[in-house]
């Protein structure tokens, strides 16, 4: 583990652009399953959305800070955990919620609102919790996060494909019916393949340092899923909405996390390995949880 705070990983600008494009395709594949009426129901009953955003931006960062204080990892690893927790829910959370039989419209709404909110809330959460933990404070003092660049990334990989997908479903429902299932499986397969290929370029570093972060990422992800479930249960959400909040809190946008790490932290080793391992692990736990949940129909 010696040197993980000094190691920088190789991830080219072209790879980041490709990652954003893949995440946009994943988002589009979910959006073509939605209609404007799905969101009008949320406007009439905003409680599930507000509970989900609270879980995402308040509960998860607090749980993460507690984990960091209790385990005292290397500074770059600690900051990687804090950054992942500060990111909005991942695009694949919408796919996984759909597969789990949860409220996909709520999941997409949470992702949309959280990702737009991330322009302000992600830098605030990173600065707040990273600044409170002394070992990570020095790293943050050398870093500035540009909200404009985050906004551009958000628009290209989430908001634009969301709008295009819903419009296509609204005006060409017969076409989206044929595209829906093949595109969802194809986009997920491409996303997983990309993560594997991206790691191959840094395989030596990943193998050397994965052991230092694996246990923490597994516990962190469990805290995220458990925290989301607990908040949704305490708020007395229906099982249909509770599935969406649980998955949305436990599936973080590690792709956005990697973009931020390589754009603003120069690919700092501990942070990059944490985000990369999250990208693999949350897909495994999310799909496994969806398989369990889908065995029973959720009460709405």
Distances (CA, A) of 261 to 28, 39, 275, 276, 277: 25, 33, 9, 11, 14
Domain ranges in the chain are 13-290
Tokens 């969406």 sit at which residue? 244
Give Dmax over CA atoms of the chain in angstroms: 57
Average pLDDT score over residue span 140-168: 73
Beta carbons of 227 and 252 less than 8 angstroms apart: no
* pLDDT for 15: 67
Beta carbons of 78 and 109 less than 8 angstroms apart: no
Closest by alpha carbon to 273, among 83, 138, 24, 134? 83
Over residues 205-251, the pLDDT tens digits come to 677 777 778 899 999 999 999 999 999 999 999 999 999 999 999 99
Give the span between the Cα atoms of 289 and 247, in whole angstroms: 8
Average pLDDT score over residue span 44-55: 90
Residue, of 199 and 29, whose pLDDT is higher: 29
Closest by alpha carbon to 90, among 30, 34, 169? 30
Tell me what percent of the residues of the chain surpass a pLDDT of 70: 80
Give the span between the Cα atoms of 88 and 52, in whole angstroms: 11
Average pLDDT score over residue span 19-40: 73
The yes-or-no verdict on residue 84 having pLDDT over 90 is yes
State the Cα angle at 51 between 112 and 213, rounded to 5°: 75
Average pLDDT score over residue span 62-71: 96
Torsion region of 119: left, alpha or beta (phi above 0 gives left; psi -120 to 50 gives alpha): alpha
Q: Three-class SS of residue 268?
A: strand
Q: Which stretch, 53-62, 136-145, 177-186, has highest mean pLDDT?
A: 53-62
State the Cα angle at 267 between 64 and 258, rounded to 5°: 55
Over residues 95-145, the pLDDT tens digits come to 889 888 888 888 878 877 787 777 788 888 988 999 899 889 888 887 766
Would you say domain 13-290 falls under CATH 1.20.1530.20? yes
């Amino acid at each position: 583990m010696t040197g993980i705070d000094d190691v920088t990983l190789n991830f080219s600008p072209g790879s980041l652009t490709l990652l954003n494009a893949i995440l946009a395709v994943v988002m589009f594949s979910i959006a073509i399953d939605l209609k404007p009426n799905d969101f009008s129901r949320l406007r009439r009953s905003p409680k599930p959305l507000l509970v989900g955003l609270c879980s995402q931006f308040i509960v998860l960062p607090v749980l993460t800070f507690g984990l960091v204080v209790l385990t005292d990892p290397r500074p770059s690893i600690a900051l990687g955990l804090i950054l992942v927790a500060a990111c909005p829910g991942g695009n694949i959370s919408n796919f996984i919620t759909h597969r789990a039989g949860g409220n996909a419209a709520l999941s997409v709404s949470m992702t949309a609102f959280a990702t737009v909110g991330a322009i302000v809330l992600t830098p605030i959460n990173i600065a707040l919790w990273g600044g409170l933990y002394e070992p990570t404070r020095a790293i943050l003092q050398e870093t500035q996060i540009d909200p404009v660049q985050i906004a551009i990334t958000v628009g290209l990989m989430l908001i634009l494909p969301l709008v295009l997908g819903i419009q296509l479903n609204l005006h060409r429902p017969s076409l989206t019916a044929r595209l829906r299932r093949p595109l969802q499986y194809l986009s997920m397969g491409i996303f997983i393949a990309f993560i594997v290929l991206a790691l191959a370029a840094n395989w030596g570093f990943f193998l050397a340092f994965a052991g230092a972060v694996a246990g923490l990422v597994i516990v962190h992800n469990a805290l995220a899923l458990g925290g989301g479930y607990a908040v949704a249960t305490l708020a007395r959400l229906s099982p249909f909405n509770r599935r969406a909040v649980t998955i949305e809190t436990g599936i973080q946008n590690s792709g956005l996390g990697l973009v931020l790490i390589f754009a603003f932290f120069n690919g700092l080793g501990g942070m990059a390995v944490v985000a990369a391992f999250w990208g693999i692990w949350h897909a495994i736990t999310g799909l496994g949880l969806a398989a369990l949940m889908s065995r029973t129909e959720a009460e709405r």
